[in-house]
Chain A
Amino acid sequence: MQIRKLLAAAAVALGLAAQPALAQNLTLEFVVWNYSLETIQDNVRLFEEANPGIKVNITDYAWPDYHDSLILRIRSKTPTDVVYGGQDWLPAWAAAGFIAPLDSVAPAGAIEELSADIAGFALTDVTYDGKVYGLPYYSDTISFIYNKKILKDAGIAVPATWEEVTAAAEQLKAGGMDKPIIYEYNQELPNFYDAFVAQSYGRGAELFDAELNPLFADPENGAYKQLEWIADAYAKGLVQSDNHESTIITAMNTGKHAFTIVFTYVLAALNDAATQPLAGQFALAPMPGEKHSTLGFAKSYVVTATTAADPVRAEAAWKFVNFMAGKPYTVAKRWAVEKGLGFAQLPLFEDQDVITAWGKWADVGALGAQASIAKAGTYTEFSSIWSAYFRPLLAQAMVGEAPVDRVMKDGAQRWTELKEKFASR
């Protein structure tokens, strides 16, 4: 009896000792790029209200400095729990052991259940080596966008192939529009390559085979043909270069350009009646080409490996990630409604609030159709390194400073070298 009492007392003592550890205030370190910080802060506030005892400290960096700043934080062991991840960085981060699979922090079955609602390309983007490392913060596609009024006034049908885009642009140029196409030409930006992939997907191209061997150096490959198409459009004086999507928004709103290829969320800004004089004139069309597919991508919430290794922090981190990206998808819906950001959670395509909000600037049906045939890019541990090498080559070929053939061969060779190098690690 004495032993029982002792055990009971010990259990109570242990319980009391453990209780403060569970109830104590814990502060998660959340690192983001500084897009709409006030909205992020408000979402965090709502999370903190719903989860007493867990505080979230936000650190934000400008987008172009985000990746390097984050790696510096992780390498120097600056406390970091949950971060924004990108599809192009995720394989390298996972391979380096910086981040943890979500099933190591989530309750059993939770990730499988949420994955069922995520669009295919987005799920591919957050998966590495068969494991899900992130839940989508937002997800988008790259779109072919045109000015409805300009085309209607000129009696031009919406182009369905790249050859039709050339013909339409030539007709507009003959009618007095100097540069009918405005193109985000900035080799520093990863999306410079992504936009090229999206166009190639429109033609139905596969840039790599199942073993990750490059296919694009083949002149019959759609990517090869697309680079030739861009170089031809530049040579014909149809294309105006612009180094950032934000300035493309204003340029398209001058009415001096009819076509562009940018992230779909740019369409929300193009058609924003609050700021843009030609709001309402812009629409997306299926990506020109035989297949009309495009590139889809997902940015995600990921948990660092050090946090996953600490049970208390891991539990809090999961609660936070689940609040931001899990059911009932309140936060993803808020981004969609207020900011026009895309989403990977498919049930939101049927949400009436989303349909109403998006209907102001886009044909939601067309968007959904595009998302359904969008494909993920090919991202590996070395693809960021390769992309940084290949983008300047692409840029040279587009403006006629290097032959398409040499650029594609150089790109394929470099990919193969990196693949072999990383395979032997």
Chain B
Amino acid sequence: MAGRLHPILTVAFAALILLFTGGPVLLSLYGSLVPDRILLSPDKSIITEGPNFETYRYVFTGQLPESYQQESANRAMISDAARQVPRALVNSSIYALAAMVLNLILGAPAAFVFARYVFPGKKISFMYLILSPLVPAVALVTPIYMMLQFLGLVGTQLGIILVHTAKALPFTVLILSVFFRKIPAEIFEAAVLDHCSRFQTFWRIALPLALPSVAATGLFAFMISYSEYMFAMILSGDTRTRPVSVVMTALARNTDVSWSLLNTGIFIAIVPTLVLVVFVWRFVVEGLLSGAVKG
């Protein structure tokens, strides 16, 4: 038993972690189910008043909560930015999926070449690729915006997808090249003896062996895109192209958002993320670990 924590301490630490991770989620759920006047009142609660789904109805249908129809009510605190959340979730998913697919299409072959072949300029191009994320994103906003403006891609989904792909690509190449390096060279030598071309070696040998790692890296690219804010904010001009990171920032910063509506927006926005984490995170970790112990 030496070196193990006392069970009570373990439970206490676990409870603390749960409090800081699950607590905000539960609070946002609670805040979304009661109007502000109940949320802020010391005498009333969800138990005395019951849950209220009017803000959810407003987000999805645009129908105003009944409290806004009453005397002495104005619409100062009912922000329609909250109504952009469902559409923004769809946009974010499109960007993240597209960035993930493009990253794998472009990044996996590049990583394989960097890992298994020698060619002029290999070292410098690899260094350039993996060091490029060290440039602060804010320094790149203006040149990238101007470049996309020149190409007519500002305000388009394609523009955001391209930038998100470029943002995640260095990580994809770096992580996958590490995995490809760990595959024993004898396997590739055997493939060459069997007259496999370079592409066949990559497609038939390397890729299947690295599949868990490829999937994990793709999900990593997905998450980078899903949470990216700065370029999405600059490049998306309206609700048709706006991802959830930008909409949530607007909701949190605007003055015309009631707490109830803000919490509703937060909860709607985090539910898909929670689902993703529960079902997919295990594969990410397993994928990364499988590469770590290989060879």
Contacts and interface: CB of A to CB of B under 8 A. Distances in A.
Q: Judge: A and B partners, yes or no.
A: yes
Contacts of B71: 273, 360
Contacts of A72: 141-142, 145, 234
Contacts of B21: none
B27 to A, nearest CB: 14
A394 to B, nearest CB: 22
B257 A246 contact: yes
Interface string A355-379: 0010011000000000000000000
A35 B255 contact: yes
Nearest to B257: A246
A417 to B, nearest CB: 27
B157 interface: no
A-B residue pairs, 4 tightest by C-beta: A274-B73, A38-B80, A273-B72, A59-B237
- Of B76, B146, B246, the most chain A CB neighbours within 10 A belong to B76
Nearest to A266: B255
A63 B145 contact: no
A36 interface: yes
Interface residues of A toward B: which range? Answer: 35 or more
B72 A360 contact: yes
B70 A36 contact: no
Interface string A324-350: 000000000000001110000000000
Contacts of B250: 34, 62
Interface of A: 34-39, 57-65, 69, 72, 76-78, 244-246, 249-250, 253-254, 265-266, 268-269, 271-277, 279-280, 338-340, 357, 360-361
Given A77-B149, A279-B72, A338-B74, A250 B259 contact: yes
A76 B35 CA distance: 44
Contacts of B238: 57-60
A276 B68 CA distance: 11
Interface of B: 35-38, 40-41, 65, 67-68, 70-81, 83, 141-142, 145-146, 149, 154-155, 233-234, 237-239, 246, 249-250, 253-260
B74 A63 contact: no
Given A35-B254, A62-B233, A250-B40, A78 B76 contact: no
24 contacts: A34-B250, A36-B256, A38-B83, A58-B238, A59-B237, A60-B237, A62-B250, A69-B233, A72-B142, A72-B145, A78-B149, A78-B154, A250-B259, A253-B40, A266-B255, A273-B67, A274-B65, A274-B73, A274-B74, A275-B37, A277-B36, A357-B74, A360-B72, A360-B73
B145 A272 contact: no
A62 B253 contact: yes
Contacts of A338: 74-75
Given A72-B234, A76-B146, A76-B149, A269 B76 contact: yes
Given A34-B81, A62-B233, A76-B149, A277 B74 contact: no
A274 B261 CA distance: 12
Contacts of A246: 254-255, 257
B260 A339 contact: no
Contacts of B67: 273-275
A34 B254 contact: yes
Given A60-B238, A78-B154, A36 B79 contact: yes
Given A62-B250, A272-B73, 8 more contacts: A35-B256, A72-B141, A76-B146, A78-B149, A269-B255, A274-B65, A277-B36, A360-B74
Contacts of A275: 35-37, 67, 73, 77, 258-260
B133 to A, nearest CB: 22
Contacts of B233: 61-62, 65, 69
Nearest to B258: A275
Contacts of A38: 80, 83
A277 B254 contact: no
A59 B77 contact: no
B40 A277 contact: yes
Contacts of A280: 72
A59 B155 contact: yes
Contacts of A268: 74, 76
A329 B228 CA distance: 41
Given A69-B233, A339-B256, A76 B74 contact: no
A381 B81 CA distance: 33
Contacts of B254: 34-35, 62-63, 246
Contact of B74 (A35, A64, A250, A340): A340
Contact of B76 (A37, A64, A254, A272): A272
Contact of A274 (B70, B142, B155): B70
B76 A340 contact: yes
A256 to B, nearest CB: 11
Contacts of B145: 72, 76
B64 to A, nearest CB: 9
